[in-house]
Chains A and B, each alone.
Chain A
């Protein structure tokens, strides 16, 4: 089954404790991206990757890092999480760019206390 898989689905952590949210797709997509969804603000892009070893900032990259060492994986790293990073996070992929159909993971609900 074609899918984007995120882990974990739910995470509660403390301020400053480094964490990684994993994202993997099995569709051989070149393009991957991370979004966060907040009430009243909607979905906003954090980082994106056009292909392996190519990443770039989205609209809200502060406090986040990403890497794209293999085509299928695109982890989101929070080096020192803060309460304002409490949010619902989505990973997305598409074949070449967002000009093709986008597939989203099921989301990771992160709470930073």
Chain B
């Protein structure tokens, strides 16, 4: 059964730092991996979607990489800002292609 783990569970950094969030999954036979952002009282916002055939995706200050063979993905955030403070969730598609399996998230706090 696919399991997704995110480390660390929480992270506090000063504004301007570059940071890396980690995601690992137990079954390398995935269709895709998605990174989401969750703000308190709001829904999940899709940040990046990496198909299984891709190695990375970039959007603005965000870069996500995927290494299927090792069961790992990283989300790199450049020049962090207080507005980046949120919980970041990693999710992989289950083998049936019918559900996203989520990690428990990394809660990021960026101080000014």
Contacts and interface: CB of A to CB of B under 8 A. Distances in A.
A104 B43 contact: yes
Q: Is the interface of B mostly helix, strand, loop or mixed?
A: strand
Given A90-B44, A99-B31, A102-B34, A42 B97 contact: no
A111 to B, nearest CB: 15
B98 interface: yes
A106 B42 CA distance: 5
Determine the interface band of chain A, counting residues with CB < 8 A from chain B. Answer: 20 to 34
Interface residues of B, number: 23
A33 B44 CA distance: 14
B54 interface: no
A48 B93 contact: no
B89 interface: yes
Interface of A: 4, 33, 40, 42-43, 45, 48, 50, 56, 58-59, 90, 92, 97-107
9 contacts: A42-B102, A48-B99, A50-B98, A58-B99, A99-B32, A99-B51, A105-B43, A107-B41, A107-B42
